[in-house]
Amino acid sequence: MVYNRVGNSGLKLPAISAGLWQHFGDTDAFAKCKDIICKAFDLGITHFDLANNYGTPAGSSEEIFGRVLNNELKNYRDEIIITTKAGYDMWPGPYGEWGSKKYMVASMDQSLKRLGVDYIDVFYSHRFDPETPLEETMGALDLMVRQGKALYVGISNYDLENTKKAVGILKDLGTPCLIHQPSYSMFNRWIEDGLKDFINDSGIGLITFQPMQRGLITNAFLDGIPTERAESLAEIGITEPRVAKARKLNEIAIKRGQSLAQMAVAWVLRDNKVASVLVGADKIEHIEDNVKALENTNFTEEELMTIDTILVN
């Protein structure tokens, strides 16, 4: 495993991190979840990323990880980075989502109980709240650190303007923003419109999610989109025109000696500006395949130009 420094901090994250957004809920077999988590750790993945609302029902992902952590991995807490977030809909009523101090503090306390830990390594504001002063949301993050409930804080899904404001507020409070977590892939490059450069220039770490674009940049649909799933897949951007582009990208991956998914992960890590990539898995083989992407994260100028040409046309 490769470990990269997070911005200007002293913390390092594995280049491949485990995201537990999907496949870790009450409908998933606990034994399978346990095996995936333990295999990831054995492969050097020391970072496990969660959120209060992950899993079905919401919160079950934290509960499952907590069970594994406090049993199979109970001797390794100091070798593990646990991150969680608050911001999306978690419980009914006016205090169950967004970014108020009331919600953020309650969410942290609930997450600590579900995980069975004394502190979180990184606590995120999961999304910008347009109706709550940013000073209040960032103040809640600062409070979590001062209370010893979090070691570091970060933001996720914030655009450039609000990232700049959040970073400035946290700096003034004395609790710097450690890391930003946006989505990023060959098909989804919104952070290249100034956000990625600002994050790097500010000494903040960058960890990204959905490198495979919800399965689009994998082998899953290269043989065609199943008719019975076409409508639901189109809702998340998996359409035949985009799959046609994925087939062309796969030709490049084959020449590189990689699977399409491996190339997708490698592309995100190509310029050393992304400290870590979050990947999900519902099989041990997926974790093993993703880690192999680190065997080749270098791209020639010709490869990068060809990829851009495929995606633009």
Handedness of CA 82, 111, 33, 239 (dihedral sign): negative
C-alpha closest to that of 180 among 150, 152, 209, 156: 156
Gap between the Cα atoms of 278 and 207, Å rounded:
7
Q: Is the CATH code 3.20.20.100 the one for domain 3-214+260-297?
A: yes
Cβ atoms within 10 Å of 186's Cβ, excluding its own: 21
What phi, psi does 97 have (nearest 5°)?
A: -165, 180
pLDDT along the chain (313 residues), means of 10: 97 98 92 96 98 96 97 97 97 96 98 98 98 98 98 98 98 98 97 97 97 94 91 92 96 97 97 96 93 96 97 85
Read off the pTM. 0.95
User: Domain ranges in the chain?
Assistant: 3-214+260-297
